[in-house]
Structure formats: C-alpha cells, structure tokens
Amino acid sequence: MLREKSIYYYKKGFNCSQCLLKACEQVYGINISKQSMKLCSAVNNGFGIGNICSVLISGIMIFGLLFDENTAKKLRIELLTKFKENHSLNCISLKKEFNANNCENIIGEIADIVENIIYIEKNRPAQ
C-alpha cells in the first residue's frame, strides 16, 4: 500500500522525499506539518547533486517519527543495509541502474522496504 500511495503523490508533484512522507502520513496516521513538508522541498535529486538518494532519507525520517531514537537508529541501518544489498545509495547511479527518467520504481522499492521494516518492528514481541 505504501508503494502505491508514494507513487501517487510523486505523480501529483511531490518531490521524491516528500512523496514518501505524505504517503506515510496517510498510511500510519501521523501528522506531518506543512513546515515539515517544506523542509523537504530541497531534499530531492540526491540533494541536488546526485548524492545519497533522498527517498532513503525520507524513510529514515519516518522511523524517527514512529519510533524512539534508539529504535529509529537501528532501523536506519537496516534500511540502508537492505537497500545497499542490491543497489547503490547514490541518486545518479540509481537512475542509471533503474534506467529511469523519473524515480517511480526507486520510490516504490524503497517504500516496500520501509513498509516491511515498520511492520516487523511494530509486530516485534515486547522484551
């Protein structure tokens, strides 16, 4: 579900980092203020220089909103490690790898990973 909603918002004009935040707002019932969305107005296209994928950054921010700091840091590593198993973390490299003029497939794959990580963490037995 997160994949579809993220791509929907991307097609509606939200940038690559904003679309995942907006989708998570809807799917997980969190409030992301207009100011927070605006903060991400410059967090796209690998921070404008094709560096680290901004959708990954957005996923990390979602972990910070949904979980305590220590859990969010653990999930951050999990997301980056899982994605890096099969792909570069670099925006320019990803666009070449996905042969993409836009980032729909990249957004979709990251959304799937984020959704899976959140699901597992929320359903983890209490210790």
pTM of the model: 0.91
- Identify the pLDDT of residue 100: 66
In a domain, 81, yes or no: yes
In a domain, 127, yes or no: no
In a domain, 78, yes or no: yes
In a domain, 108, yes or no: yes
User: What are the start-end ranges of the E strands in the chain?
Assistant: none
In a domain, 103, yes or no: yes
Q: Which domain holds residue 18?
A: 2-122
Structurally, how many domains does the chain consist of? Answer: 1
- Identify the pLDDT of residue 102: 76
In a domain, 57, yes or no: yes
What is the Cα–Cα distance from 73 to 57, expressed in whole angstroms?
12
38: pLDDT confidence band, cut at 50, 70 and 90?
A: confident
In a domain, 113, yes or no: yes
What is the Cα–Cα distance from 37 to 20, expressed in whole angstroms?
11
| Arithmetic mean of pLDDT over the chain | 91
